[in-house]
Each structure stands twice: as C-alpha cells, then as structure tokens.
Amino acid sequence: MARAAAAAAICFVVFVSPPVLSAQDTRAAELERERAQKAAALHPYKPGRLENLLLYFEQSNPLVRLSPHNGFFIDYGYTRKPVGSGIALGAGYRHDLFARKARIELEAGLSVKKYRLLRADLSMPYLADGRFELGIEAVDRYNPQEDFYGLGPLSLREDRVNFRFKGRDYLARAVVRPVDWLQVGTRIGRTTTAIGPGSDTAYPSLETRFTDASAPGLILQPNFNYGDVFAAVDYRDSTGNARSGGYYSLAVRRFDTVGIDQYDFRQIDAVVQQFFPIFDKKRVIAAQVALSAASAGSGDQVPFYLKPTLGGARTLRSVDEYRFRDDNVMFMNLEYRWEAFSALDMALFTDWGKVAARASDLDLSDLEHAYGIGFRFNTAKSVLLRFDIAAGGSEGIQYLINFSNVF
Amino acid sequence: MRNNLLRAAAAGWIVLAIAAVSGGAAGRKFYPDDPLANDPETQDASAVRPWDISNQYDLIENSFLGAGDSDARRAANVNTVDEVPDSSWFTNRIGIRSIANDELIKGPDTGTGPAAGTWTVLSKKTEGVTPGFTMRDSTGEVYWIKFDPKSNPEMASGAEVVSTKFFHAFGYHVPENYVATLRRESLALAPGATLRDRDGRKRPMTIDDIDDILELAAPNSDGTYRVLASRNLPGQPLGPFRYYGTRPDDPNDIFPHEHHRELRGLSVFSAWLNHDEVRSTNSLDTVVEGPGRRIVRHHLLDFGSTLGSGSVQAQTFRNARADDLFWAAQIVAALSDDAIRAIVGTAGFSDTRATEYLTETILVRKSKVLKVWLNGTNPVVRPALSSAGALSFANAAEEAGVAKAAERYTIQWSRFDNTAGTQEPEGTEQTVTGTRAQAPDALISGRTEYIAAQIRAFHAEHPNWSQPLMVYFRRTGDGWSLVGLERNP
C-alpha cells in the first residue's frame, strides 16, 4: 500500500507536475495551459427551452404566418371590434388580386361575449402608386350586450343596463393620399340597425328600465343613408406607439333615415393628438383633445345607440366603458410617458371630459376626470399590453387591461 | 521498519508534489513576462460552430434572469499593469500611442468603398429598421448597403461612419463602413437572388423589389442615393457574441465576457457617443486565419443608432467598476478635440452646421464623461521609478482639465515578496504636494527585487481620489520597470 502510494506520488511529480511547473514559468504559458485545458473539453452551446422557443418565434415568425398579408389569416381581435366585447379572434382570407391591381378581404370575428362580425371588402388600394384607393365594403355586426347608463352627465351607475345591437353596412369609399402625411376621403352607403334585449344577465335589459323617451330609438330603429367626408394629417413616427409628431383628423358624417323622418342627424368628429419627445424619445408628453358633436334637425333625434360615448380605457379611465352618452362629447388626455426599459414604458396620466345635450354646453366646467399610472409592454411600433390604474372618479379605482395604446 | 520508511518517503513525496502544484500556482504574483502586451490565441478554433442568438431572449436574460457572474471583481483579462492586452477582442490604439488624424480618419478602412461599375444585388436586408440590401461590387467585394430614413437624410449613415472611426480608435474590431453613392442604373440583380416577402415566404427577387427599397430612401437632387456601404467582414460568420459567459466551443475564450475590461468599458464609450443599442445582435464573431491556426475574432457592428440617431443593461455593464470606467475614460481623453473634429468630418454631411453641431455635442459630452469617470477613482497614472529611486507619476484628471491639482499625495513604500505575495513596509508614509517622490534608500540600494508603493491622492472635491493605487516595480539590469498596477485593489 505504502509502496503504491509512493510510486503514485513519484509518478505524479515526474510525469504530471513538471509540465505544470514549466507552464507556470511565464504568464503566457499559464494562459496557454488554461486554453489547452478548455480545448480538451469543448462542446457546442445548447440553448435552453425558453431561448429555443424565442428563437423559433424570431426565425419562423409564426405570428406573421398566422396573419399573412396574403392568404388565410387568424388575428387577435377583428376589424373595428367594439371596446368591452372581450377577447376575440378574427379569421378569414385576404389577397392581392390581378397583380396588385385589386385586393379582397373576407373576415369573420367572434368574441368570448359572443360579439360577431362578418365582413367583405373589395378594393383597389394601390391606384396611382398607392395614392388613391377605391373600395366597397359590406359589414354585418352583432353586439349582444352593449352597456347603457342613460343619457347625459347625470346618468347613474346603478342604472346600468345592456342591449343588443345589430348593424349592417354597405359602404363605398374613395380615399386620396396626395402625400404620405395627408389623407382625404369620402364614404357613402346604407346602414341598417336593430336593437334588442341584451344578453348580459348580470344587468337588466335596456327595455325593462328605459323608454323611448329616455332612450330615443328604442322602439323604432330606422335604416340610414350614410355619407361622410374626412381628412387626416398624420405625421406621427409610429401609428401604434407614437413618440413624436402629430395626428389631426376631422370627419363630418350625415345619417339620413330611409322611409321616415325622425332620426336624421349630422355628426362632427375632431381629434387632435400631439406627441412631444424629450431626451431622444425616451420620454414623451402625449396630449389628445377629441370632440364629437351630433345634431339632429328640428323634430329629429339622434338614436341613443349612435350617440357618442365617454368612459373607459381610451377616453376617461376613471369610469366604465360607455359610462356617459349624449349628443356631444369632449375629452382630453394628457400622458407623461417614459421608458422604464426597452420593453416597458410607464406613464402618468390624467383624463378630463364631459358629455352634454347641447354643443354649447361643452365647456370646461364640471368635467369628469381621472388620473393614474400606466404600464405599457411594447415594441417601438406597438403596445402589446397596457395596464392602467386610474382613480379620480366617484366610482372607485379602475384597473384597465388593453392590448393597444390609449392614443 | 522498512514499511515505516516507505510510508515516510511516500508522505514526503506527496507533500512535495502538493507543494509543487499548489505552492507554485498560488505564490507567484508576477511572472518574468509580465506585463503582457499581447494575449495571443494559442488554440485552434476550427471546431467552433455558428449560432443564433434570440434578440428577445438576450433582452430578457440580461434584464431579468441575471445572465453571467454578478460578482463585480477586478476585470479578469487585464494584465498586471491594469491594461487590456491585444487580443481577438481588442487592439490597443489611441489608448497607448499618439495617432495622427489621417490614421484616425482612415480607421479600419482598407480601401475607398464599393468600386464604381455594376453593383449586383444579392439579397434584401431583413433585419434592422433601415431599408437595404447586400450587393457585390464590380471587383467582387460584398457590401451591406443601408439607406438613411427618408425623414432624416444623412443621419444614420453619418452616425455609422463617425462612430465606426471612434470605436476603431478605441481599439475594437469593427467593419469597414463607407458613405457611398448609389446610382439606380448601376444596379443589377444577381441570378437566383431571393427575398422573404412580408409574409415570410421566400421568393425570387425582382427589379421591382429593388425599386420598392429605393422608394423608402431619399434620393439626392441628381437622382443618386447616399448609402452606407458596410464591407463584408472577412472570415466565416459565427453569429453574435454574448455579453456574459464564454463560448463553449472556442478554446481561446477563457475569460467570462462580463469580466472583460474592454466590454465593461464599452459602457463609457457608449454613454459618450449615445450608443444605446449595445446588445448581442449588434456584434459578430467570425473565424479567421491566425498564425498557424484558426481563431475567432469578435466585432462590434451597427452604429447607425448612435449620436442621437436612434438598451440592454448587460451584466457586463453592471459589473463595471471604477477602474474599468477610468480605463475607458482615459482612452476618451486621449482623443484630442482636433481628432474628434477630423473624425466627425468623415460623415460627409452636406450641411456644415450638422458637422459643427455634432462636433460640439460630442465635445461637451466628452467633457462630462471625463469629469465623471476620471474623478471616480484614484487618477494617478504613468508611475515610473528611476534607477536612483525617483518616483514620478501624473494625474489623469488634472491632465484632462477636469480637476485641479491634488492637494497632496501620500506614498507608503514596501518590499514585495513575489513568491509569498507579502509586503513589508519600509519607513513611514510620505506626503508630497507634487507628482514626484523619493523611494527610501534602503529599498533602492539593497537587494530588493520588487518594490511596492501605495499611492493616494487627496482633493476636497474628489473624495474618490483617496482610494489606494498599488504600483509594483521590478529591478532590471539598469533600474526599475513597472510590473504591476492595481487601481481599486
């Protein structure tokens, strides 16, 4: 045993330690020894599950494959999905036709609250190098549980009811984009509407609490000939997550009833958004002022379900979606946004707004307001998830989760 | 009895063997070849394989998952005098020698950019935010062509060229980036060129696709386009490097990247030049032919978002210590204002006001960088000991004009035992008001092989100056040579 130990020790000194000793004669030799040791144990890098998954998403881009510009697609949400309709999926087929001379889009959407949409759109969007677009669109909407609290600024939260809205639009459009930042267009067509009992059993249905006097249009829902003209100046750096630039839009709409003369009205919608970048766009002051004013002629009324609304994640965050509704709505939003790190923006915000029966009452008195803090998980071009905490109203603290920016 | 003797002999050999290994490994602080100016790659890296790095994973891992060793210990790849030896990561340039403006302006360039004649388009650029494509010029060289955003002509290309020169001057490996002029009529499509359309489907590239790319760029008044032409890096591309750990298939990559001085110091250069896209995907490793072997060379890429033209908080940056930041700030200080003007001039901005504004901004930021990081620790540099024992040194902060002279310096001399790693103080602590001192005669005239000195600087406005700086001198044939320097030991 002792002989063996002695022999092993001698062997170690003779055959092992001399190279070690010589390797330590110089720094260069010491480093070379370390590298030689590593060379004897090389192995390829093995990414973990999460890294593999993210690599797959980046390289094969399954979201683009699910939602291609041309082909069958599946999207989160659907075109003009109503706020409050819940998580929804849209799917369909879309493709450029005839060497990009035309384009077709067929879409169906469905939400967990059973909101539905069917849509067909045929257009020529690439005329004049994309400066001019003609199109026709047919849309069938089914919104089974729209919220209603009554009209005017004094409506009560306790009066919350819901109703079913069905609409079908047939519209033709012409849009001109003479320069990248300017868009002018018009749409004409026919829209049909129908109201029914709401499907949300948590709240009464509208017809049990309101009458045609307190909810004009409850009894009779006419068809409309619809027309509008609109213009928009848009020089934001990104439409989905702007950090500089501005967006100004103006639309004048006209609803003329077909067959009866009771609900003709016009509506003006104006939006001004401005983004003031600070510190290389790492911080942004974002401001929005929006106005919707509907006016009916003498003896006419604006149907309650087409009146502008105020409240919720995009307008006044201290109250529920559609909390206030009347012929005229005005609201202002001011946000100070800053980049917490490259995937998260935070924001301090305040909202102010009111509804009124007359446009002349849209002044700065008795404004509803909200203030709070927001967390926006985002990319440079879009907000993927927005979590806002809002207070300031009489209805408690609101927690809002959305999948797009406020504006 | 015989067995006892054998046991004793065995025990003796074992003790000797252990002492030979452990004693030798731990005892010696300085080797004869210290300080190393070069850390050459001694192993063949032919076995290294390309990899891809997920941008998202890189972000998540560096931001939340604690990638790399968070121990902010002294940088592992510095030599004994606190400098970074030349390697496949870094080549000392402006930090160790004066460089003429002509050489700074030339930077990594070996030519003048893409040759005139036909540019054959090979593929469409699919990464990044700026439009572009790869092409082969009339001499067969491959370039990556990038355009400026239509809204900001000259911006990204100017930033890329200027920052390339800066980062090359610092010492990093960077590609040759040129501002070039593209003529639509000179473009041709390579047979078999393909691209992935917006839906990710691969299809043959057409001349219309080139026009679609040009549509996103702003033409010059004569119909040509100003482009950034980045010459294809030599060697086989391996993909990006990570800012932590080591590459497990590269035998020469032995220092964890988060403990690389030049990667930690990158935070200073990036702060100076507003480079907020320091991430793995803006780097590239290539396999190149070295002396008798293949080695991996590490490059920084994509400076188009620097200088305000556009972050990942890597563990590497979080590990950066005051000595790492001081090292980088010294390199920044080495670039004279005149050199900075010359480098900014390479952007070729058509509006001279842009050149002036950028130059002034960089100079103001330089002043701030130096003020913060040269004063962040003991600023004593260039210590030297004459054969007669006269110690001299300089104050980097004072030299850079970001601080006034120290009120005093203190020096504690000692004998240093290189084998045991111990110090034996000699005399009492000296206090001097200038940057010179005299070593005790007992150290100079004796047979001492190594002398150590702990130097502290004192200034009421810069408390960090008083952090100890250890310097070590080794006796040479005719005097003393600096063999060790530890800032924040």
Whole-angstrom Cα distance, residue B248 to residue A40? 11
Q: Do B31 and A30 touch (CB under 8 A)?
A: yes
Percentage of chain A beyond pLDDT 90 is 81
Asked whether residue A270 is domain-assigned, the answer is yes
Residue A20 within a domain: yes
Q: Give the pLDDT score at B129.
A: 61
Whether the CB of A20 is below 8 Å from some CB of chain B: the reply is yes
Average pLDDT over residues A283-299: 95
Could you tell me if A242 and A248 are in contact, meaning their C-beta atoms sit under 8 angstroms apart?
A: no
Q: Does A182 share its domain with A256?
A: yes
pLDDT tier, B448 (very low <50, low <70, confident <90, very high otherwise):
confident
Please give the pLDDT value at position B314. 66
Peptide bond into B35 cis (omega under 30): yes
ipTM associated with this complex: 0.86
Find the mean pLDDT for residues A239-250. 95
Angle (CA) B306-B309-B313 rounded to 5° is: 50
pLDDT at A2: 45
> Which pair of tokens denotes residue A156?
């009560």
- Per DSSP (E only), the strands in B291-359 are 294-300
| Contacts with A380 from chain B: Cβ below 8 Å | 129
The pLDDT score that the predictor gives to residue A221 is 95
Structural domain contains residue A372:
no
List, for residues A121-159, the tens digit of each pLDDT value.
Answer: 999 999 998 999 999 999 999 999 999 999 999 999 999
Residue range A318-342: mean pLDDT, rounded: 95
Task: Please say if the pLDDT value at position A17 is more than 70.
Answer: no
pLDDT of residue B446: 80
Q: Which two tokens stand for residue B300?
A: 């920084």
Q: Using an 8 Å Cβ cutoff, are B450 and B472 in contact?
A: yes
Percent of chain A with pLDDT strictly greater than 70:
94
Q: Which two tokens stand for residue B148?
A: 């400026």
Q: Tell me which of A127, A144, A179 is where a domain ends.
A: A127
Residues A70, A22, single domain; the answer is no
Task: Determine the average pLDDT of the residues in B414-441.
Answer: 95
Per-residue pLDDT for A13 more than 80? Answer: no
Q: Per-residue pLDDT tens for B407-422?
A: 999 999 999 999 999 9
Is residue B21 within 8 A of residue B221, CB to CB? The reply is no
Distance from B193 to chain A by nearest Cα, in Å?
A: 20
Indicate the pLDDT class of residue B17, thresholds 50, 70 and 90.
Answer: very low
Whole-Å CA distances, A296 to A145, A259, A265: 26, 17, 4
Tell me how far CA of residue A161 lies from CA of A141, A302, B489, in angstroms.
20, 19, 72
Name chain B contacts of A3, Cβ cutoff 8 Å. Answer: 6, 10
Query: Which residues on chain A are in Cβ contact (under 8 Å) with B78?
Result: none
> What integer best gives the mean pLDDT of chain B?
89
Strand partners, A96: A103
Which of B13, B198, B252, B270 would you mutate first to test chain A, the one with the most A CBs within 10 A?
Answer: B13
| Beta-sheet strands, E only, within B320-449 | 380-385, 390-395, 408-417, 422-425, 430-432, 436-438
pLDDT tier for residue A8 given thresholds of 50, 70 and 90: very low
Domain that holds residue B395: 380-487
CA atoms in the 13 A half-sphere facing the CB of B404 = 6
Residues B184 and B289 occupy one common structural domain: no
Name which of A249-253, B69-73, B143-147, B327-331 the model is least confident about. B69-73
**Site of tokens 């510190």:** A279
pLDDT digits (tens, 9 = 90+) for A172-203: 999 999 998 999 999 999 999 999 999 999 99
pLDDT tens digits, residue range B373-395?
A: 999 999 999 999 999 999 999 99
Alpha-carbon gap, residue B230 to B427, rounded angstroms: 60
pLDDT > 90? residue A304: yes
- Kindly report, residue by residue over B164-194, the tens digit of the pLDDT: 999 999 999 999 999 999 999 999 999 988 8
A-B contacts (CB, under 8 Å): 137
Same-domain pairing of B219 and B318: no
Residues A27 and A113 reside in one and the same domain: no
Residues B104, B401: Cα–Cα separation, whole Å: 23
CB contact under 8 Å between B39 and A57, yes or no, is no
**Cα B168 from chain centre:** 9
| Cβ pair A65:B252 closer than 8 A | no
Domain match, A321 and A248 both:
yes
User: Considering only alpha carbons, which residue of chain A is nearest residue B14?
Assistant: A9
Same domain, B164 and B219: yes
Determine the Cα–Cα distance for residues A81 and A388; give it in Å rounded to an integer.
20
List of chain B residues whose C-beta atoms are within 8 Å of the C-beta of residue A45: 51, 247-249
Boundary of a domain, candidates B373, B397, B415: B373
- CB contacts under 8 A, A 90-149 vs B, are none
- pLDDT tier at B72, thresholds 50, 70, 90: confident
| Mean pLDDT score, B397-411 | 97
Number of domains in chain B: 3
Residues 373-402 of A with CB under 8 A from B: 380
Q: Which of B346, B373, B400 is the last residue of a domain?
A: B373
Q: What is the mean pLDDT of residues B121-142?
A: 84
Residue B443's pLDDT band, with cuts at 50, 70 and 90, is very high
Q: Do B223 and B313 reside in the same domain of the chain?
A: no
**Residue-wise pLDDT tens digits, A21-70:** 444 589 999 999 999 999 999 999 998 899 999 998 888 888 888 999 99
Which chain A residues are closer than 8 Å to B197 by Cβ? 69
Token pair 């004869």 is found at B32
pLDDT at B74: 94
Q: Which residue has the higher pLDDT, B66 or B121?
A: B121
Is A345 domain-assigned? Answer: no
Task: Note whether A212 and A116 are same-domain residues.
Answer: no
What's residue A407's pLDDT? 94
Confidence of residue A20 (pLDDT cuts 50, 70, 90): very low
> Is A186 contained in some domain?
yes
CA distance A15 to chain B (A): 11
- Look at residues B446, B455, B452, B445 and name the one whose alpha carbon lies nearest to residue B482: B452
**Which DSSP category does B373 fall into?**
H
pLDDT at B309: 59
Residue A6 pLDDT exceeds 50 = no
Chain A: give the shortest CA distance to residue B74, in Å.
17
Q: Are B242 and B201 within one domain?
A: no
A392 in a domain, yes or no?
A: no
Binary contact (A31, B42; C-beta < 8 A): yes
Lookup result for tokens 């201290």: A318
- Kindly tell me if the per-residue pLDDT of B270 is higher than 70: yes
Looking at chain B, the whole-number percentage of residues with pLDDT higher than 90 is 71
DSSP code per residue over B447-480: --SEEEEEEEEE-TT-GGGGS-EEEEEEEETTEE
Same domain, residue pair B336 and B350: yes
Lowest mean per-residue pLDDT among B112-121, B197-206, B351-360: B197-206
The CATH number of residue B476's host domain is: 2.60.40
Indicate if A6 and A118 belong to the same structural domain.
Answer: no
Instruction: Confirm whether A141 is domain-assigned.
Output: yes
For residue A255, pLDDT over 70 is answered with yes
The pLDDT score that the predictor gives to residue B1 is 42
Mark which residues 237-266 of A lie under 8 Å from B by CB.
none
pLDDT at A342 over 80: no
Give the model's pLDDT for residue B24: 42
Number of domains making up chain A:
3
Residue A14 has pLDDT above 90, yes or no: no
Residue A205 shares a structural domain with residue A166: yes
pLDDT at B473 over 70: yes
Lowest mean pLDDT among B87-101, B145-159, B218-232: B145-159
Mind telling me how many Å the CA of A187 is from chain B's nearest CA? 29
Kindly state whether residue B112 falls inside one of the protein's structural domains: no
Average pLDDT over residues B92-105: 94
- Quote the domain boundaries for residue A25: 2-39
